[in-house]
């Protein structure tokens, strides 16, 4: 009974009635108004009641204005005009005072009449058949096919399809742009999706034509970006087309003049885009992609461009993918790559150039891996804590920042499921079952052994993220383009200088090893640390303590160079700095000469972030005069 | 005298007054009189009030039992009515015919006054001789329930004005005592033995309603509200809808024109109570001298007393819920010929035809029987079937015979359904039905599907490769060689072939739609108050049947064609023939809108479901109401007869399907499972499976064979109608199939027992 009392009817207050009557020019006494108000309420209820039967007979759940008007008409009351719109009328309150009103926008009739975008006629009412076949027990059997009659395209759609495909694959770039834009925003072409997907799957037949491939990829992009399309299982098909562009040794890549690298980069970018926006549509997509990437990577028969594709693909999928697939695989892969890079025969020139591309791509990937890893450590921790990745690393490993981890499935789960497929052919890659997160320092050390100083450049910026005000970071670093992939932190990305950009985006400059003119003084200024190596195969530097499961072809040279030195934690502010004597030039290989300092945690008080930030970009860029920082506390022990 | 009534009726029509609502106008040549419904309905038919659609006082005249005195009275009433409506010519004719003198004619003032005061006297005896009154009633009831009405003459016999009807409430009592009275009775009923409590609790609701209305009528607004708040929570939940309406009504002025209120007022709420329980109640009221309550019971309640065990709560709950209580037992006593008509003998060029014919007696089969005097000798007559000629049916045309042969051939390939062999379901989804799909029908041979839309259009689709074609224009037709063999093909205009056709003509949502059995016609009923007949040869409107002056909710063709039935907001169902612009029968008696109408397979009966939560079965022959079935707790929106004509299923907004035995007029099953209004019901061709489709986007299949088998009908239950429903609806549910977002509004079994369903996708 109590709840019945609460269920009151809507009531029209007598003030409203008085107001109405006044607007009609009639004065009403309070008493009269109250009576009228009550009667109005009753009549309203009555009309509502009888309007509900029109709703019921129209077999609807929603009472419409139309129903109400019918009820009024049948009780000989004038219908209310002006509310016949099909869509719901917004009912809004006014914040001040308890006033509610129906929004009644004014419509500019002139504009409406002269509008050029006349809405197209609604689709025709039609009947469509679905059959549920039941077996004897009443269980549903697989659905029959829909009769083709109801699925055929309308004339308009067919025309649209022809025009768009012709425009995109045709010669006119302007027309293409228009078509792509429309594809990106057209809400009525859902029926054409399978056809477009089919066209896109034609990448395999035009692998000789970079231009066409590019256009098809653009088409993919437009489709993916179209908010009105539900891609559904077509995602799989699109992904396979994109993967083809990333991984396959395209016919176009035979000619070194063809810039198929850019195509792969773009495709990888697209892959990550599809994956991040539509990855949830297909279950297991992430791991299928990872699997195929890993397969390519671990297949030594594949050309380097395929490997390159795999690396950029992994990079595009995020640092976790890199950590999971590329990193364990690196030691095995390195030997192959090294062999290529060390072959200086003329016949190998082209392959070597390709090898450098791969090298660069791997470098970029692992750099970001390190950075993001450090970031993921520092993010959950307090600033002070995060400043010490060396000590705090292990504790923070399990904590992953949500934005950086791939969305569809937890990694651990997949690691088990796919593990069996992932036994690297050579057994070189770390099997996924055994995969355990490598602590950051260990990882760093291992990677450092491959890449030397070129790695440390970028890593150093990671942990200081929190401390550096953005203004300080706006160093005139000539970053030409951001590296592809979901760069989670713009700051880190921005600080990634030239090298990254070179590797990824402008590969053409990159036919040979790093083109930087290494200042000869570098080697000299690192007394005892840097030695000229006669064999570049020994260009791997490792920390003494690191235990690497990979091959150790460079054994003897390893211990000669102490690479990094972690000073013991000091009392006072948790400063963390170490020096790196970079591996220096091999005589025949003129490139890869780096020096850097790795100081992930500048004590906030001891060093103004500004000076710190100032020197950062320069460190990797040996081409620039570096004298300014000679006196810096954080700089190398080299008189730069 | 009979001629007089014809005249009356005639006058009635030409004067273009609202149609006769109460009492069926029986145009049959032999009878020619306005049918009365006394035995069934008491005063329940008296819908006389200004707002009730199309009602006039004429209906009231049909109420009186036969007898010279009543005849006289009736005549007077008619005269009065005519005079009031300024039909002086008719008055003169009537006088002459009846041989009434002017003096008598002038006296009705006093006569009606007498009647009025008679009614009033009943209500003013509050403090009078209650005991004698009681004894009179108690004697009267067991003797003949119909007579109980006699002490209380129908209100407003001659003065059907609303005011008079309402004035019955004018009895003055102390408003403060009402809660006391009610509470007293409540305490008493709570204290009686368990077996009586359930029965006596039935009294609460009608008492509550009438006491509340009395309070409101006498301007005790505050007390009424208090009374409502105090006791409305005690009422059964299935009355919530009515209570809501009541609670909004707090002023005397509101009572005028409120249909629900008038339903309460003009009809007696029927209760079935065992003799023991009734004695208890009577004794209590006598002891307490509780006249207020007693008066209400006497005036507004009809207590149907039976001998035997008091009913249990579940038994009562199963049957109650309708607007006016349960049906009186004797309302369902008429014999109903539910058997099927004999099949016509058609020479079928198939050998297995003999088999078919033999099967027919053993198992029920949905076939179109057709009376055929030639072949009737060969087969035995079903004892429950009506005579072949009971109502005239159209002759079979050659094309009908062909169709029947096709039907039989198809039926031979029919899949035998059962709990272990369910039908596949084919769903016709209406896409882009922005206009709002309101009705669907599929032809018997499943070749055409039609939809009625809220935008007043009717659309017909062909679901076979055969396209819809129009007949050529008259000019073109004259050029056709009429002797050629393919003349039927030649008359079609190939240029007009299309998959669908749109029929324009209505001016309101099309709520009901029905194909004729021969697929030549289509009926549609609409909010605009008309039923239209369309030709499917020319795709034009042939006739607009005007009679319902209010929205027509449903219409259906007879299984033999020619006749059709319609029902609407005016609470009347009408029987029409396609070649008559006026209805042949009017079935009046429902207390609220007639929401759905169905023909019995033998075409002799019509079932109507109503918003008053009852189902009535009407005899087409004489217009009588032969069954009143109560038990639903919400407006009924779907009905279906089993193919053997023996059973009926009904679905309502309460989401329950009820099964009925027509012969006994009993509820024999309750199928629970749906969560929303059931808009579609259909038996399989052999009646083994019932399919139900609902607003809740599901199609459910029920094992009716089992449901019908489980029912045990001994003589006692058959006599009293007090049946124990088996609680097995979950066992009977064979399957539930959901659509994505499409309410199911039509179901159809093809001749081979494939289930077709239809609805509009509702994004």
Q: Which residues of B touch A151 (CB under 8 A)?
A: none
Question: What one-character-per-residue DSSP string does A151-187 give?
Answer: TSPPHHHHHHHHHHHHHHHSS-HHHHHHHHHHHHH-S
Question: What one-character-per-residue DSSP string does B705-730 give?
Answer: HHHHHH----HHHHHH---PPPS-HH
When pLDDT is cut at 50, 70 and 90, the band that residue A379 belongs to is: low
Kindly state the tokens that stand for B241. 């809808």
Q: What pLDDT score does A416 carry?
A: 37
pLDDT 10s digits, A298-355: 888 888 888 888 888 888 888 888 888 888 888 888 887 888 888 777 777 778 888 8
Q: What are phi and psi of B127, to 5 degrees?
A: -90, 5
Q: How far apart are CA B564 and CA B576, in angstroms?
A: 5
Higher pLDDT, A130 or B359: A130
CA A249 to chain centre: 25
Q: What pLDDT score does B439 carry?
A: 93
Kindly state the tokens that stand for A20. 């109405």
Q: What pLDDT score does B683 carry?
A: 94
Q: How far apart are CA B667 and CA B321, in angstroms?
A: 14
Q: Is B369 exposed, middle or buried (0-12, 13-18, 19+ CB in 10 A)?
A: buried
Contact state of A74 with B569 under an 8 Å Cβ cutoff: yes
Q: What pLDDT score does A342 carry?
A: 80
Kindly state the tokens that stand for A236. 């799989």
When pLDDT is cut at 50, 70 and 90, the band that residue B706 belongs to is: confident
Q: Which residues of B touch A53 (CB under 8 A)?
A: 569, 593, 611, 635
Q: How far apart are CA A522 and CA B626, in angstroms?
A: 113
A92 touches chain B (CB under 8 A): no
Q: Answer yes or no: is pLDDT of B510 > 70.
A: yes
Structural domains in chain A, CATH included, are 9-84 (1.10.20.10), 151-249 (1.25.40.770), 283-377+439-456 (no CATH)
When pLDDT is cut at 50, 70 and 90, the band that residue B10 belongs to is: very low
Q: Is B69 exposed, middle or buried (0-12, 13-18, 19+ CB in 10 A)?
A: exposed
What would the mean pLDDT of B65-76 be, rounded to a whole number?
Answer: 61
Nearest CB to B420: which of A46, A86, A136? A136
What would the mean pLDDT of A217-232 be, rounded to a whole number?
Answer: 83
The least confident of A49-53, B145-149, B170-174 is B145-149
Q: Which residues of A touch B745 (CB under 8 A)?
A: 59
Q: What pLDDT score does B118 carry?
A: 38
For residue A325, the 8-state DSSP code is I
When pLDDT is cut at 50, 70 and 90, the band that residue B505 belongs to is: very high
Q: How far apart are CA A271 and CA B719, in angstroms?
A: 78
Kindly state the tokens that stand for B645. 């004509």
Contact state of B695 with A61 under an 8 Å Cβ cutoff: yes
Q: Answer yes or no: is pLDDT of A123 > 80.
A: no
What would the mean pLDDT of B434-458 be, rounded to a whole number?
Answer: 90
CA A355 to chain centre: 27
Q: What pLDDT score does B380 carry?
A: 62
Q: How far apart are CA B462 and CA B446, in angstroms?
A: 9
When pLDDT is cut at 50, 70 and 90, the band that residue A435 belongs to is: low
Q: How far apart are CA B682 and CA B699, in angstroms?
A: 11
Q: What pLDDT score does B614 carry?
A: 92
Reduced DSSP (H G I as helix, E B as strand, rest coil) percent helix, strand, coil of chain A, to 5? 55, 5, 40
Q: What percent of chain B has pLDDT over 70?
A: 74
Kindly state the tokens that stand for B307. 């001998």
Q: What pLDDT score does A134 carry?
A: 61
Q: Answer yes or no: is pLDDT of B681 > 90.
A: yes
Taking alpha carbons only, the member of B759, B740, B737, B695 closest to residue B425 is B737
Contact state of A127 with B743 under an 8 Å Cβ cutoff: no
Contacts of B84 (CB under 8 A, 6+ apart): none
When pLDDT is cut at 50, 70 and 90, the band that residue A484 belongs to is: very low
Contact state of A138 with B701 under an 8 Å Cβ cutoff: yes
Q: B-contacting residues of A 20-59, CB under 8 Å?
A: 38-39, 41-42, 45-46, 49, 53-54, 56-59
Q: What pLDDT score does B127 carry?
A: 39
Q: What pLDDT score does B448 carry?
A: 92
CB A187 within 8 A of CB A163: no
Per DSSP, helices labelled H in B21-67 are 38-41, 58-61
pLDDT 10s digits, B331-344: 888 888 988 888 77
Sign of CA dihedral B623, B629, B635, B639: negative
When pLDDT is cut at 50, 70 and 90, the band that residue B276 belongs to is: confident
A113 touches chain B (CB under 8 A): no
Q: What pLDDT score does B507 carry?
A: 93
pLDDT 10s digits, A531-582: 333 333 333 344 443 444 444 433 333 333 334 444 444 444 443 333 333 3
Residue B597, helix vs strand vs coil:
strand
Contact state of A129 with B463 under an 8 Å Cβ cutoff: yes
Most confident of A400-404, A624-628, B2-6: B2-6
Q: What pLDDT score does B171 carry?
A: 57
The least confident of A180-194, A253-267, B142-156, B196-210 is B142-156
Q: What pLDDT score does A214 carry?
A: 86
ipTM: 0.73
Tokens 């249990």 belong to residue: B312
What would the mean pLDDT of A75-81 be, rounded to a whole number?
Answer: 84
Q: How many CB atoms lie within 10 A of CB A72?
A: 17
Q: What pLDDT score does A152 carry?
A: 58
**Among A1, A9, A127, A133, the residue to mutate for chain B (most B Cβ within 10 A):** A127
Nearest CB to B553: which of A1, A49, A57? A57
The least confident of A93-102, B149-158, B669-678 is B149-158
- Torsion on CA atoms A381, A382, A387, A391, rounded to nearest 10: -50
Contact state of A134 with B653 under an 8 Å Cβ cutoff: no
Q: What are phi and psi of B553, to 5 degrees?
A: -80, -30
Give the global pTM: 0.57
The least confident of A391-400, A433-442, B480-489 is A391-400
Kindly state the tokens that stand for A330. 């690196």
The mean of the pLDDT values for chain A is 64
Q: What pLDDT score does B376 carry?
A: 41
The least confident of A370-379, B20-29, B303-312, B350-359 is B20-29
Contacts of B56 (CB under 8 A, 6+ apart): B17, B18, B20, B21, B48, B81
b/e burial code for range A487-501 (CB count within 10 A of at least 16 → b): bbbebbbbbbbbbbb
When pLDDT is cut at 50, 70 and 90, the band that residue B756 belongs to is: very high
b/e burial code for range B413-433 (CB count within 10 A of at least 16 → b): ebbebbbebbbbbbbbbbeeb
Kindly state the tokens that stand for B372. 């055929």
Q: What pLDDT score does A412 carry?
A: 37
What would the mean pLDDT of B622-626 be, rounded to a whole number?
Answer: 91
Q: What pLDDT score does A513 carry?
A: 40
Q: What pLDDT score does B101 carry?
A: 52
When pLDDT is cut at 50, 70 and 90, the band that residue B528 belongs to is: very high
Contact state of B735 with A39 under an 8 Å Cβ cutoff: no
């Amino acid at each position: 009974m109590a709840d019945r009392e609460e269920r009151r009817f809507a009531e029209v207050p007598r003030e409203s009635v008085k107001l109405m009557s006044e607007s009609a020019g009639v004065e009403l006494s309070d008493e009269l108004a109250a009576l009228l108000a009550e009667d109005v309420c009753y009549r309203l209820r009555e009309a509502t009641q009888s309007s509900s039967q029109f709703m019921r007979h129209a077999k609807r759940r929603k009472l419409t204005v139309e129903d109400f008007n019918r009820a009024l008409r049948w009780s000989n009351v004038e219908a209310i005009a002006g509310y016949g719109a099909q869509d719901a009328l917004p009912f809004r309150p006014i914040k001040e005072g308890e006033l509610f009103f129906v929004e009644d926008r004014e419509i500019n009739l002139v504009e409406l009449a002269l509008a050029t975008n006349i809405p197209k006629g609604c689709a025709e009412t039609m009947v469509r058949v679905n059959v549920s076949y039941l077996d004897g027990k009443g269980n549903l059997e697989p659905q029959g096919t829909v009769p083709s009659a109801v699925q055929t395209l309308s004339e308009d759609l067919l025309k649209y399809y022809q025009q768009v495909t012709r425009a995109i694959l045709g010669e006119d770039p302007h027309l293409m742009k228009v078509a792509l834009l429309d594809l990106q925003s057209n809400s009525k072409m859902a029926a054409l999706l399978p056809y477009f997907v089919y066209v896109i799957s034609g990448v395999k037949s035009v692998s000789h034509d970079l231009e066409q491939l590019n256009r098809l990829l653009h088409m993919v992009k437009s489709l993916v970006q179209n908010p009105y399309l539900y891609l559904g299982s077509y995602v799989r098909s699109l992904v396979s087309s994109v993967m083809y562009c990333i991984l396959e040794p395209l016919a176009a890549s035979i000619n070194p003049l063809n810039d198929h690298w850019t195509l792969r980069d773009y495709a990888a970018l697209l892959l990550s885009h599809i994956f991040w926006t539509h990855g949830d549509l297909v279950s297991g997509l992430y791991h299928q992609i990872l699997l195929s990437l890993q397969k390519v990577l671990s297949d030594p028969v594949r050309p380097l461009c395929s490997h390159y594709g795999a690396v950029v693909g992994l990079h595009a999928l995020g640092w976790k993918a890199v950590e999971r697939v590329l990193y364990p695989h690196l030691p095995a892969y390195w030997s192959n790559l090294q062999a290529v890079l060390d072959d200086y025969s003329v016949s190998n020139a082209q392959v070597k150039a390709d090898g450098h591309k791969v090298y660069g791509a791997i470098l970029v990937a692992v750099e970001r891996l390190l950075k993001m890893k450090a970031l993921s450590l520092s993010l959950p921790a307090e600033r002070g804590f995060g400043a010490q990745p060396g000590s705090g690393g292990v504790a923070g490993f399990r904590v992953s920042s949500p934005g950086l981890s791939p969305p569809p499935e937890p990694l651990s789960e997949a690691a088990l499921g796919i593990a069996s497929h992932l036994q690297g052919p050579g057994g070189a890659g770390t099997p996924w079952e055994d995969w355990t997160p490598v602590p950051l320092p260990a990882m760093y050390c291992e990677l450092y052994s491959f890449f030397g100083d070129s790695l440390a450049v970028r890593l150093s910026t990671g942990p200081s993220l929190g401390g550096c005000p953005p203004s300080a970071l706006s160093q005139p670093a000539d970053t030409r383009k951001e590296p592809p992939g979901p760069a989670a932190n713009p700051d880190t990305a921005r600080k990634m200088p030239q090298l990254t950009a070179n590797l990824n985006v402008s590969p053409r400059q990159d036919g040979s090893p790093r083109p930087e003119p290494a200042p000869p003084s570098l080697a000299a200024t690192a007394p005892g640390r840097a030695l000229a190596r006669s064999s570049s195969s020994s260009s791997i530097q490792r920390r003494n303590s690191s235990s690497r499961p990979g091959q150790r072809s460079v054994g003897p040279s390893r211990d000669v160079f102490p690479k990094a030195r972690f000073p013991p934690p000091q009392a006072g502010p948790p400063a963390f700095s170490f020096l790196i004597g970079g591996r220096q030039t091999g005589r025949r290989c003129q490139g890869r000469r780096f020096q850097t300092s790795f100081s992930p945690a500048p004590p906030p008080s001891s060093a103004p972030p500004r000076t710190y930030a100032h020197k950062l970009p320069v460190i990797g860029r040996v081409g620039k005069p570096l004298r300014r920082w000679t006196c810096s506390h954080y700089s190398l022990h080299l008189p730069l | 005298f009979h001629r007089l009534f014809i005249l009356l009726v005639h006058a009635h029509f030409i004067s273009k007054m609202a149609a006769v609502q109460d009492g069926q106008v029986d145009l049959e040549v032999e009878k020619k009189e306005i049918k009365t419904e006394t035995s069934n309905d008491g005063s329940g038919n008296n819908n006389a009030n200004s707002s009730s659609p199309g009602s006039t006082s004429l209906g009231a005249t049909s109420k009186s039992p036969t007898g010279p005195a009543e005849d006289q009275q009736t005549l007077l009433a008619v005269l009065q009515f005519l005079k009031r409506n300024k039909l002086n010519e008719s008055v003169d004719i009537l006088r002459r015919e009846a041989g009434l003198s002017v003096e008598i004619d002038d006296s009705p003032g006093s006569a009606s006054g007498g009647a009025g005061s008679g009614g009033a006297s009943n209500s003013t005896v509050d403090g009078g001789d209650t005991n004698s009154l009681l004894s009179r009633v108690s004697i009267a009831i067991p003797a003949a329930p119909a007579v109980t009405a006699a002490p209380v003459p129908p209100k407003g016999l001659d003065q059907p004005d609303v005011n008079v009807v309402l004035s019955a409430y004018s009895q003055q009592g102390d408003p403060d005592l009402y809660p006391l009275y009610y509470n007293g009775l409540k305490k008493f009923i709570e204290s009686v033995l368990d077996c009586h409590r359930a029965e006596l609790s039935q009294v609460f609701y009608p008492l509550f309603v009438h006491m509340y209305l009395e309070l409101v009528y006498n301007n005790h607004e505050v007390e009424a509200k208090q009374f409502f708040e105090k006791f409305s929570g005690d009422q059964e939940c299935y009355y919530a809808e009515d209570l809501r309406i009541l609670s909004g009504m707090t002023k005397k002025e509101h009572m005028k024109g409120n249909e629900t209120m008038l339903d309460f007022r003009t009809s007696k709420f029927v209760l079935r109570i065992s003799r023991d329980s009734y004695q208890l109640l009577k004794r209590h009221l006598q002891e307490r001298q509780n006249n207020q309550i007693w008066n209400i019971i006497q005036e507004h309640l009809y207590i149907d007393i039976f001998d035997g065990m008091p009913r249990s709560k579940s038994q009562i709950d199963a049957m109650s819920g309708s607007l006016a209580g349960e049906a009186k037992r004797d309302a369902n006593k008429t014999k109903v010929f539910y058997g099927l008509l004999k099949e016509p003998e058609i020479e079928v060029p198939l050998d297995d035809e003999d088999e078919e014919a033999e099967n027919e007696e053993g198992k029920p089969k949905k076939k179109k029987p057709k009376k055929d005097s030639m072949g009737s000798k060969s087969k035995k007559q079903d004892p429950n079937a009506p005579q072949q000629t009971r109502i005239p049916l159209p002759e079979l045309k050659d094309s009908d015979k062909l169709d029947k042969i096709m039907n039989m051939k198809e039926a031979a390939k029919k899949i035998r359904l059962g709990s272990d062999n369910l039908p596949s379901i084919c769903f016709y989804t209406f896409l882009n039905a922005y206009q709002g799909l309101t009705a669907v029908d599929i032809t018997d041979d499943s070749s055409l599907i039609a939809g009625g839309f809220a935008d007043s259009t009717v659309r017909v689709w062909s679901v076979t490769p055969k396209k819809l074609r129009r007949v050529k224009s008259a000019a073109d037709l004259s050029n056709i060689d009429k002797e050629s063999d393919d003349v039927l093909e030649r008359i079609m205009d190939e240029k007009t072939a299309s998959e669908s056709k749109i029929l324009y003509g209505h001016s309101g949502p099309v709520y009901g739609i029905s194909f004729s059995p021969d697929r030549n016609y289509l009926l549609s009923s609409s909010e605009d108050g008309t039923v239209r007949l369309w030709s499917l040869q020319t795709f034009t409107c042939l006739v607009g049947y005007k009679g319902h002056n209010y929205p027509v909710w449903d219409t259906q063709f007879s299984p033999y064609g020619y006749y059709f039935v319609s029902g609407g907001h005016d609470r009347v169902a009408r029987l029409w023939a396609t070649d008559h612009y006026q209805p042949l029968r009017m079935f009046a008696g429902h207390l609220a809108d007639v929401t759905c109408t169905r023909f019995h397979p033998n075409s002799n009966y019509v079932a109507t479901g109503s918003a008053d939560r009852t189902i009535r079965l009407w005899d087409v022959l004489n217009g009588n109401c032969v069954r009143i079935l109560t038990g639903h707790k919400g407006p009924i929106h779907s009905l279906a007869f089993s193919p053997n004509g023996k059973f009926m299923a009904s679905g309502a907004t309460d989401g329950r399907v009820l099964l009925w035995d027509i012969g006994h007029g009993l509820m024999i099953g309750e199928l629970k499972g749906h969560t929303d209004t059931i808009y579609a019901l259909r038996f399989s061709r052999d009646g083994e499976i019932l399919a139900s489709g609902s607003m809740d986007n599901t199609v459910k299949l029920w094992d009716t064979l089992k449901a019908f088998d489980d029912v045990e009908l001994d003589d006692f239950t058959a006599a009293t109608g007090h049946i124990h429903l088996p609680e097995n609806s979950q066992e009977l549910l064979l399957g539930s199939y959901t659509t994505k977002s499409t309410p199911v509004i039509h179901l159809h079994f093809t001749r081979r027992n494939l289930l077709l369903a239809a609805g509009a996708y509702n994004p």
